[in-house]
Structure 1
Amino acid sequence: MDYIDTKHVAAELRNRLKNAFPGVKFSVRKGTGTASAWISVYWTDGPSTADVEAHTRPLQGAQFDAMEDRYESTDNTVTVTVKGRKVTGKPLVDGINTHRDISDDALKAAAALWSEAHDGNEPPTSGMLDACVIDGHVIQENGASQQMWQIASDVILPQRWAAAQEQAAAEAARPASDQEQGEEAAEGLTLTHTDEDGTTVTGTQLGDGAAIVLKRHGFKWHRKNQYWYAPGSRHQQADTAFMTAVAADLRTARLTVTTVFPEPATV
């Protein structure tokens, strides 16, 4: 039986994750010293931990049995490329740890949802918060930061990931001619921020793909004013990092966007 070194398993895992989740940036690190047979995977937002672990489990050569307090060998084998040659063997990996971080953008969207569910009140930044229901999900009684984390994890990120997959599938299925027409129809979007209206996007058209992107970032449709707005952004200082991220995602969706940042205040 051949054995595959941990570093080669890490390289194979990196490729598998890249192919399975295009557009998501993963950091795959091999342990050092006493943890040399371990691999750690880090990423932000995107797919759930369960989705990623469906790809990490087949690459573990052993797993810890808490009842027996020992590692048990798995029957997994992996095929990797080493110096241009395909090699199949048992992975020398005792475990693969997964760590999903949640972006500030997702936490901000979670706070906006909490505010909508509590009559527009801003969520406190400390203390214990009562249990509540957000978009059909029960959010447990917990500290303020932990509740925002759960809302982001259970509500915001699954919605964004599903929308991203839907958009990618729709984009792949569209004929080239339709894509060109979509690009022409998508021109004229303006992303801006004012004290009165907050952060808004104007110029969208039905079916141009903007709605999917904007919903991922927590935007809502204002029927009266006919624009998309970021809840909780009125009478607040412009979040330029948030606006830049939104504009980048809109452009990734082949939309033409003009970003208008507010003029800096003069003294």
Structure 2
Amino acid sequence: MHMHNPYESRPAADNKDAEVTVYRAETDYLKAAPEYKHLSQEKNGAVQVAVNIRRELKKAFPGVKFSVTTRSCDCVNIKWTDGVTEERVKAITDKYRDSYFDSMQDLAVSCRSRFNEIYGGVGYVFTKREYSGRLKEKANVIFMQKYGHAFTGEEKTPEMLKRGELWKEGHYFHRNGFAVQTEINKILYQTE
């Protein structure tokens, strides 16, 4: 007769206890982390996310005015003019996404983190940086310094950019080729 060892299933229980202990320690650390002390831990969905994003952006980029709004219970929109690049803003805001849409499976996939459990998460965080005339002029100057040699006697003005005339521009550079407007947009995207 085989006697059942009461300790045979114990390692699995020990592993579960260890996971719970680690989870609690990581959660406690995030709740008390000095870099997040200014953020809300209230559980109120997209509103909490918008409040926290606004606080983080204000702290990280004090001279830039951001508009942070909720569009639905699962979406936050962020807009600003000039200032910091979209890439730097996304470095802060991406951690607030708690899901993404997988078009191959036609469903939303959770990527929720401990950060989201404490400071909030939404499925969609949209960023939109707008450009003032002053920044467009600066991009035009950079463009002409870089590629002006290819436009002997031609000047690309911010007014042409505003009117969308440079999309139609037939000039291409280098062997790979690129449109004037495309290159100016790259400059705008990277310029602060």
TM-score range, shorter chain: 0.5 to 0.7
Residues 114 and 54 of structure 1: CA distance in aligned 2, closer, same or farther (over 3 Å): closer
| Pair 1:90–1:44, CA change in 2 (3 A) | closer
The Cα of 1:41 is off from its aligned counterpart by 0.7
- Structure 2 counterparts to residues 1-267 of structure 1, below 5 A: 3-31=43-71, 35-78=72-115, 89=118, 91-116=120-145, 117-119=147-149, 121-123=154-156, 125=160, 126=165, 127-132=168-173, 141-142=178-179, 144-154=180-190, 157=191, 161=192
Q: Which amino acid aligns with 1:115?
A: M
Q: What is the aligned length?
A: 139
1: distance between equivalents of 2:142 and 2:121? 44
Q: Is the 8 A contact 1:27 1:41 kept in 2?
A: yes
Over 3 Å counting, the alpha-carbon distance change for 1:111 and 1:74 in structure 2 is same
Distance 1:94 1:78 in 2: 14
The answer to which structure has the higher strand fraction is 1
The runs of 5 or more residues in structure 1 that have no matched partner are 80-87, 162-267
Under a length normalisation based on structure 1, what TM-score does the superposition of the two structures give? 0.45
Q: Which has the larger radius of gyration?
A: 2
Contact 2:86 2:189 in 1 (8 A): no
For the aligned residue pairs, the C-alpha RMSD in angstroms reads 2.9
Equivalent residue number for residue 264 of structure 1 = none
How many angstroms does 1:139 deviate by?
9.8
Structure 2 residues not aligned, in runs of 5+: 1-41
Q: Taking CA–CA contacts closer than 8 Å with sequence separation of 6 or more, which of the two structures ends up with the larger relative contact order?
A: 2
Q: TM-score of the superposition, structure 2-length normalised?
A: 0.60
